[in-house]
Amino acid sequence: MIASVGFWIVGSGTVSTRTSWMPCQVSAFITWRYPVTGPAHTRIRRTSPSSRTRAGAVAPGTRSRALRQGRTTVPQHPARLSGRRILITGASSGVGLEAARRFGAEGARLALLARGEEALHASVAEHGLDALVLPVDLTDRTAVEAAVAEAAQALGGLDVVVSNAASAVFGHVLEVHADDFDRTVAVTFTGAVNVLRAALPHLRASQGTIVATGSLMARVPLPTWSSYSAAKHALRGFLNSVAIEEREQGTGVRVAIVHPGPIDTPLFAQASSATMLQPRVAPDAYAAGVVAQALVEVAVRPRPEVVLGGETRLLDAMFSLTRPAAEAVLLLVDRWYRSGTEAAARPGSLWVAPARPQASGGIPARDSLLAPLQLGRRLLPARATPLRFAAHLALAARRLPALRRTLMRPVPERPAPAEGLAAGGGRRPERAGRVTV
Ligand SMILES: NC(=O)c1ccc[n+]([C@@H]2O[C@H](COP(=O)([O-])OP(=O)(O)OC[C@H]3O[C@@H](n4cnc5c(N)ncnc54)[C@H](OP(=O)(O)O)[C@@H]3O)[C@@H](O)[C@H]2O)c1
């Protein structure tokens, strides 16, 4: 974050196009460090339905809802992944949905996995992607193996696997039923392992790349989401071990992990909740497009681990360098999350694919100021990003007086449920309603 701020106040010259706000020196550095590569054409492949699962195309010129709303736009650059065969998990929502669009815009041929078949088809049709839709629950190992085999056969192999799907349950460890805890690990960790184990032989054949959406919570703890944080830590350990195994065997398979901080996606709002309440919305998050673009960048140019964004790097550094201070911040984060008052969906997305998947979770979102220095100019932030960031901080500060009493003392835990959320477990919230603060 400090680097980002410094980066904003140095220099006075400007250059044209999207970098117009950017100090000349920084822009020149990014241009030198990350030259544009690949064939000089940009094309989103559009296909007509040719099989049961291959989705149809939109009429040329049809604008997506996201574009109409001006939410995020897929940057128009020369395609760098033309014809590359890419499998993406969790492609029906949030980061995965954005990633599918962006990999599609780079000319990739896609296989998209998630439970929500309708959502996958809708996204493919809306964005005119060349994609095979494979509805599957990642916890079903046999079904995952069949889906990966089908993807590899249909695409003629696999060059990149983007391991992105995840799910979570909200609540302190003794509030969460063991079934819900185990299911979080089964989706977020074991589900990813199921996909990667099935895909690895295909990646070895192509000397391909594993790209994974990690998390700051793969490096730092996250209270009230302990099963999710544990699964993400496990995934990081697994991926980094596989990277060394592949290197030792000389297979040519590379592993790249992107660790973002909070992202504006429906993940937490739609998560299953042992308290029956949704977590309070984070005051500031990265837009899903920032993370999706980062996944594209590490697929084009793999690097082992990227802690994405200034805020994420600050918290990561705090935890390793000044742990007591970081733990004090995390304690407040716990209470912030636990001060939510809106009723949660039952049983929540851990067990059931949301009826209407969305790209955004309604969290105040922005681009990252540091990301272009980490991953290149395709991550250049929108001009209004510093203002937006300041507005998010100001809004959080405005809420603090009303939340002060909540943040100053422990939020009481609920009694342990007799059964998991899928079996109808949990209790009705005592204070559900609209968020008033
Ligand atoms: N949101 C954040 O603040 C944040 C921060 C750091 C890292 N991340 C990471 O970002 C990645 C993407 O998450 P997101 O924030 O975009 O969340 P999201 O919008 O909830 O997307 C999660 C995706 O995973 C799929 N999924 C969930 N359970 C599944 C299952 N059992 N089998 C197959 N697919 C399943 C969902 O599709 P269906 O429901 O249709 O199955 C959905 O496409 C995750 O790895 C997450 O850990 C998120």
Among 292, 271, 195, which residue's Cα sits nearest to residue 227?
Answer: 271
**pLDDT tens, residue by residue, 140-184:** 999 999 999 999 999 999 999 999 999 999 999 999 999 999 999
Q: Is the pLDDT of residue 75 over 90?
A: no
CA dihedral 356, 361, 365, 367 (to 10 degrees): -60
Ligand 1, atom 48, residue with closest C-alpha: 263
CA-CA distance, 352 to 346, in Å (whole number)? 9
Would you state the pLDDT for residue 417?
85
Out of 213, 281, 298, mutate this one to test ligand 1's pocket (max ligand atoms within 8 Å of CB): namely: 213
- Sign, Cα dihedral of 125, 360, 85, 74: positive
Q: Is the pLDDT of residue 30 over 60?
A: no
- Ligand 1 centroid, distance to 166 Cα (angstroms): 4
Residues with catalytic annotation?
228
Domains along the sequence of the chain with CATH: 1-33 (no CATH), 41-423 (3.40.50.720)
Phi, psi of 259 (to 5 degrees): -110, 100
Is 340:291 a contact under the CB 8 Å cutoff? Answer: no
Would you state the pLDDT for residue 76?
63
- Helix intervals (H) in 50-190: 65-68, 94-105, 117-127, 141-155, 178-185
Is 208:202 a contact under the CB 8 Å cutoff? Answer: yes
Provide the pLDDT confidence category of residue 74 given band limits of 50, 70 and 90: low
Query: Pocket around ligand 1: residues whose beta carbon is below 6 Å from it?
Result: 90-96, 114-116, 119, 137-139, 164-167, 187, 191, 213, 215, 260, 262-263, 265-267, 349, 353-354, 357
Out of 140, 161, 267, mutate this one to test ligand 1's pocket (max ligand atoms within 8 Å of CB): namely: 267
CA-CA distance, 353 to 364, in Å (whole number)? 24
Would you state the pLDDT for residue 235?
98
Predicted structure pTM score: 0.85
